[in-house]
């Protein structure tokens, strides 16, 4: 297992990077925020909708996990029944 200790000093440089240093980003969808200008998140409605559904799915999984923790004895009984009987037969 490789562990890096005392890496190259130039990787820790905290020099100022201005818009002229990042001119190669001009063709992409990057917007330079000036000093004192408020930062606004610009996202499409489709992306926002996906994040809402993803957040809802995570919430439902967390609720299911809490329910299985509270009623944890029911899950092992079902697993034992499935193993003993071979599960539902078609």
> Three-class SS of residue 46?
helix
User: Tell me, what's the pLDDT at 61?
Assistant: 92
Quote the percentage of the chain above a pLDDT of 90: 10
Tell me whether residue 34 is in a domain.
Answer: no
What integer is the mean pLDDT of 19-47? 74
Give the residue numbers spanning the domain of 61.
43-90
pLDDT digits (tens, 9 = 90+) for 64-79: 888 877 766 555 666 6
Question: What's the length of the chain?
Answer: 90
> Three-class SS of residue 84?
helix
> In the chain, how many domains are there?
1
User: Tell me, what's the pLDDT at 65?
Assistant: 84
Global pTM value: 0.36
User: Tell me, what's the pLDDT at 45?
Assistant: 65
User: Is the pLDDT score of 60 beyond 70?
Assistant: yes
Rounded to an integer, what distance in angstroms lies between the CA atom of residue 71 and that of residue 48?
35
Rounded to an integer, what distance in angstroms lies between the CA atom of residue 18 and that of residue 35?
12
């Amino acid at each position: 297992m490789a562990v890096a200790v005392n890496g190259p000093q130039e990787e820790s440089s905290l020099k100022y990077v201005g818009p002229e240093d990042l001119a190669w980003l001009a063709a992409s969808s990057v917007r330079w925020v000036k000093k004192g200008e408020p930062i606004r998140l610009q996202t499409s409605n489709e992306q926002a909708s996906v994040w809402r559904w993803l957040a809802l799915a995570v919430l439902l999984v967390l609720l299911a996990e809490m329910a299985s923790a509270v009623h944890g004895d029911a899950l092992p009984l079902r697993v034992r029944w499935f193993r003993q009987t071979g599960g539902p037969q078609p």
